[in-house]
Amino acid sequence: MSPKDSKRNDAYNQLEAGSKRATPLQHQRAAEIQPFGKVTRMPIALDEKIRAASAENLNQLLADTMTLRDMYKKHHWQVAGHTFYQLHLLFDKHHGEQDELVDEIAERIQLLGGISLAMAADVAETTMIPRPPRGREEVPVQISRLLEGHELILKEARTMAKQATDAGDDGTNDLLVSNVIRTNELQVWFLAEHLVDVPVVRADEKAASAGH
């Protein structure tokens, strides 16, 4: 083989080797590196049992928050009536704020050494918020469902916050109080005011007279 042909073969072989290295390695499978429900050792000065308990609580809260977030998007798409525009925007705003909470809760679980729920099927199996029908519902029913979801989350968040405080898990307590509870309380206020039965155009003079 001539030196020229040898050099050409070497260049070709280098190209082939480079192409193989740049080719994605597909269809890979392996055992899980961490089972769900187990926590790894994390040097954050919290006992493993405390971290495991907080991670379990937060995964329940995560499932319920993801469900409430998705209900907001459902109602954002399906809302109807003369308040369509206002509620269409409000539902989407609340959806975005709940989505931020989802990230914060999931990241806290991982920080504690746990594994956060992620897939829709797992969330559906875990959430305590009743599943709404697929079809469109009237606005008062949509808002009532959302308020019930908020109330459930607020109840569990307050209980979990106290448990975290008693266990010395200040980070989890801060997340629950400063982020989850305050966000949900504020959203409840904005929603609940839409269910107050007040006149839209003309004041109820008869009711005012009866009040005197």
Read off the pLDDT of each residue in 53-62 and give the average, rounded to a whole number: 98
What is the predicted pLDDT for the residue at 203? 83
In a domain, 180, yes or no: yes
pLDDT of amino acid 205: 75
Buried b (16+ CB within 10 A) or exposed e, 54-85: bbbbbbbbbbbbbbbbbbbbbbbebbeeeeee
Q: How many CB atoms lie within 10 A of CB 195?
A: 11
The one-letter amino acid code at 53 reads: A
Q: Which one has a higher pLDDT value, 3 or 129?
A: 129
Indicate whether 212 pLDDT > 70.
no
Q: Residue 109 domain-assigned? A: yes
Residues 82-112 pLDDT 10s:
999 999 999 999 999 999 999 999 999 999 9
CB atoms < 10 A from the CB of 20, how many? Answer: 8
Between CA 130 and CA 185, with CA 96 as vertex, the angle to 5 degrees is 65
Which pLDDT score, from 0 to 100, does residue 111 have?
Answer: 97
pLDDT higher than 80, residue 19: no
In a domain, 28, yes or no: no
Q: What range does the domain containing 86 cover?
A: 48-196
Enter the pTM of the model: 0.88
Q: What is the CATH number of the domain that holds 65?
A: 1.20.1260.10
Specify the higher pLDDT residue, 55 or 15: 55
Domain total in the chain = 1
Does 164 reside within a domain? yes
Structure-block tokens of residue 39: 């926590």
Q: Calculate Rg over the CA atoms of the chain.
A: 27
Helix, coil or strand: residue 16: helix
Does 147 fall in a domain? yes
The reply to whether 133 falls in a domain is yes
| Residue 199 burial class via C-beta count within 10 angstroms: exposed 0-12, middle 13-18, buried 19 and up | exposed
Residue 182 has pLDDT above 60, yes or no: yes
